[in-house]
């Protein structure tokens, strides 16, 4: 019968830690490639009804961010549609 020697749990912890670190690196890489690190995301929850709750500068920034995000959304959807047409 096979017996494990003393100290084998250390290797399990090392392998688990390495696997977690590799997963974190892949997650951060995915997030950076998919535009997930956007500091202006906080402005996307506001709309015209929030004008009285914000300073004029913040509201203008919110409107600018919303417009740029909507433009980016249209670009991404057009890219996906073009890719779908190429596959067919």
Residue 24 lies in a domain: no
Residue 75 lies in a domain: yes
What is the span of the domain harbouring residue 86?
A: 51-88
Q: How many domains does the chain have?
A: 1
Q: What is the DSSP string of 29-66?
A: HHHHHTT---GGGGGGG--GGGGGGS-HHHHHHHHHHH
Burial (Cβ within 10 Å: 0-12, 13-18, ≥19) of residue 83: exposed
Residue 76 lies in a domain: yes
Is the whole model's pTM more than 0.85, yes or no?
no
Residue 62 lies in a domain: yes
Q: What percent of the chain has pLDDT over 90?
A: 45
pLDDT for 45 equals 81
Reply yes or no on whether the pLDDT at 4 is more than 90. Answer: no
Residue 2 lies in a domain: no
Residue 8 lies in a domain: no
Residue 87 lies in a domain: yes
Q: What is the mean pLDDT of the segment spanning 40-57?
A: 84
């Amino acid at each position: 019968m096979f017996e494990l020697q003393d100290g084998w749990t250390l290797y399990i912890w090392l392998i688990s830690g390495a696997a977690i670190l590799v997963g974190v690196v892949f997650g951060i890489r995915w997030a950076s490639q998919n535009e997930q690190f956007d500091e202006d995301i906080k402005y996307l929850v506001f709309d015209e009804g929030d004008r009285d709750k914000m300073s004029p500068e913040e509201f203008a920034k919110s409107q600018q961010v919303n417009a740029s995000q909507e433009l980016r959304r249209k670009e991404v959807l057009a890219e996906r549609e073009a890719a779908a047409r190429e596959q067919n």
